[in-house]
Each structure stands twice: as structure tokens, then as C-alpha cells.
Amino acid sequence: MDISTLPVLYSFKRCPYAIRARTALAFANIDYIHREINLRDKHPIFLETSPKGTVPVFVDTHNDMIIDESFDIVVYALQTNLPKGWMNNEVLDLKSSQVIFEKLNKEAIPAIRSIKYDVTHGADRDTATDQINQYLLDLDALLSKHRFLVDQPSALDLLVFPNLRQLTIHDPQWLKKYGFASVERWLDCWISHPIFKKVFVTHPQWEENQRPIVTDNQHGYSMI
């Protein structure tokens, strides 16, 4: 493998947005050089590459391309190499998909953050709980009829599951406690998959003189 031609992914292990990117690149069999960023001590080269200073950032210098949004990295990866049996990115244009993703960003993620970081109390805590549970209720109804968020695996699954995983890290019994069995089954399908175990590994913080960490995504895994 000629690593001089490989793209670079700036990432952080626990960030759900970076998990989106790493998972999509893995399923799409796209190799890259991994650079682990300390978000409290961001490397100057990283900030020069992406001044907003958030991960993930995907850099392909040979194609003069920098992608600094997880949504766009997921779309790029699956456009480049759609796994067998997956639905293409046109599913993201469906009204139902747009509603799921919009509510994830506007309702579910803020509620999860409030619960996870314990910034709400009393009535506000109840509001956050109701907010995330309404989102989960809608997903559970959908997933009781389908194995995935659409008929087959798609970009939508990759965009949603890492953020909902944050809630189950905070409270592993949440889905069981509130009776979201279909969401629990779906989420476990993703986080128990060999691809997730492959991408959720610990890397040393990136330094400029560090030997490149090559992520080899040539594997035989599938989702179906």
C-alpha cells in the first residue's frame, strides 16, 4: 500500500460525529491515515486545515478535497463505494428520512446532552426525558416493522446510531427501562458489528513526527 496517496482523517475516538465518519469509511472500504486529535489541545496543523476546530475532518490532498462535516463524509463514503445490499444516498432525500434527521439534531441530541451532562433538574429534566423518549417512541414504531431505518442499511442509520449510543452509555438500561425494544435491537445490531469494534479503538494523540497510523478498511464484512 502506497500510504503517500492515502487521505487523512482527523478524529476523536468517543465523538459520535467522528464515529459516523469512521464507520462509513470502513463500510465503504476506504483506507486512510488516522490522526487522533486532543480536542482540548488542538494541533496547529489541524486548526490550519479546518479553522472551526471540530472533528471529523477528511482530507484528500490528491483530489484537493477537505470535508469537515460528518454528514458530508458519510455521503461521500457511500457514494464512493456503496456496500452490497445497502440503499443509496437518495434515501436522505425522502421526507421521512429528513424528519428523522432533523428531529435528531433539534430535539434528540439536545435532550441527550442535557441528560448526559446533568445540566437539567426537576421540570427541565422531565422535559429532556420526554423529548428524547418521544423521538425514541417514533423510531421504535418504525423499527418494529423494519430492521433498519429504511428497508435496508443506509446512510441514515450511520447518521443516527452514534448519537443514540451516547444515551445508552450514560444509562445502559434506558431503552429497556422505557420499553424501546426495537430501538435496542437496532442499536445493538450496529454497536456489536465487527466494523464498530474495528473503528472504536484507542489511538495515541497525533503528533507531527508520529509514524502514520494507517486504517486498512479492506475487509469482508457486510451488514446484511
Q: What is the pTM of this model?
A: 0.95
The architecture that CATH gives domain 89-193 is Up-down Bundle (1.20)
Distance CA 80, CA 6 (A): 15
| Domain extent listing, the chain | 3-85+196-215, 89-193
User: What pLDDT band is residue 224 in, cutting at 50, 70 and 90?
Assistant: low
Q: What is the DSSP letter of 89?
A: G
Burial of residue 143, with CB atoms counted within 10 A of its CB: 0-12 exposed, 13-18 middle, 19 or more buried: buried
In the CATH hierarchy, which fold is given to the domain comprising 3-85+196-215?
Answer: Glutaredoxin (3.40.30)
Strands (E), the chain: 8-11, 32-36, 57-60, 65-67, 213-215
Q: What is the DSSP letter of 205?
A: B
Output phi, psi for 59, to 5 deg.
Answer: -120, 120
Check pLDDT > 60 for residue 120. no
